[in-house]
């Protein structure tokens, strides 16, 4: 398409993004999910802290604004991100969302893992995610499923969708 015929970028009133992440369990590391450390004998391997939930939310936010993915902004090959707290990634995605003129309306996530059971931690996880995103807790959906024989018992997987809305203009 010729340059003069390219469609103009638009600022839609809402944007939707989808994110997915997975990490394998490994011994000798704390289990970080949703910005919290959960009690478990194994944590998640990864270049950073392996927080599958925050990684999926970060990618969903970036996808909603048609931005680059988490691995492009924070490449695993870069030693500065080794062991990094995933809230840093989320904060950068939120900065970019705000820069584009949007705010998070709600987020819905599904965690898939055999153990530990997420139910006892669900309320704290929702509260922490809401805090990190600066949205009410009732705007954070969180479900947990077991792999049900799918061969992923040694991994944690997170799927997330986010809804962004145009941010209110400041006077």
The domain ranges of the chain are 14-166
> What pLDDT does residue 83 have?
81
Superfamily of domain covering 14-166: 2-C-methyl-D-erythritol 2,4-cyclodiphosphate synthase (3.30.1330.50)
**pLDDT averaged over every residue in the chain:** 92
Dihedral of the alpha carbons of 122, 39, 112, 139, in degrees to the nearest 10 = 20
Quick: pLDDT tens for 62-84.
999 999 999 999 998 888 888 89
> What pLDDT does residue 9 have?
66
> What pLDDT does residue 5 have?
73
Q: How far apart are CA 23 and CA 158, in angstroms?
A: 9
Beta strands in 9-69 (DSSP E): 14-27, 31-33, 36-38, 42-44
Residue 162 pairs in a beta bridge with 17, 107
> What pLDDT does residue 151 have?
82
156 half-sphere exposure, CB direction, 13 A CA radius: 29
pLDDT higher than 80, residue 90: yes
pTM here? 0.92
Q: How confident is the model at residue 47 (pLDDT cuts 50, 70, 90)?
A: confident
**Alpha helices of the chain — where are they, by DSSP H?**
52-64, 70-73, 87-99, 122-133
**Both tokens assigned to 127:** 């509260």
135 half-sphere exposure, CB direction, 13 A CA radius: 22
> What pLDDT does residue 1 have?
53
pLDDT higher than 70, residue 4: no
């Amino acid at each position: 398409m010729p340059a003069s015929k390219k469609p103009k970028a638009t600022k839609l009133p809402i944007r939707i993004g989808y994110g997915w992440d997975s990490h394998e369990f490994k011994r000798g590391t704390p289990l970080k999910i949703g910005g919290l450390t959960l009690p478990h004998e194994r944590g998640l391997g990864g270049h950073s802290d392996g927080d599958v939930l925050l990684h999926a939310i970060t990618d969903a936010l970036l996808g909603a604004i048609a931005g680059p993915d988490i691995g492009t902004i924070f490449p695993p090959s870069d030693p500065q991100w080794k062991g990094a707290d995933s809230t840093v990634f989320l904060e950068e995605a939120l900065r970019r969302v705000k820069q584009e003129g949007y705010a998070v309306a709600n987020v819905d996530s599904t965690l898939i893992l055999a153990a530990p059971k997420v139910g006892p931690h669900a309320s704290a996880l929702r509260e922490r995610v809401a805090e990190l995103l600066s949205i009410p807790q009732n705007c954070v959906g969180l479900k947990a499923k077991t792999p049900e024989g799918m061969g992923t018992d040694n991994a944690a997987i997170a799927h997330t969708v986010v809804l962004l809305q145009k941010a209110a203009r400041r006077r």
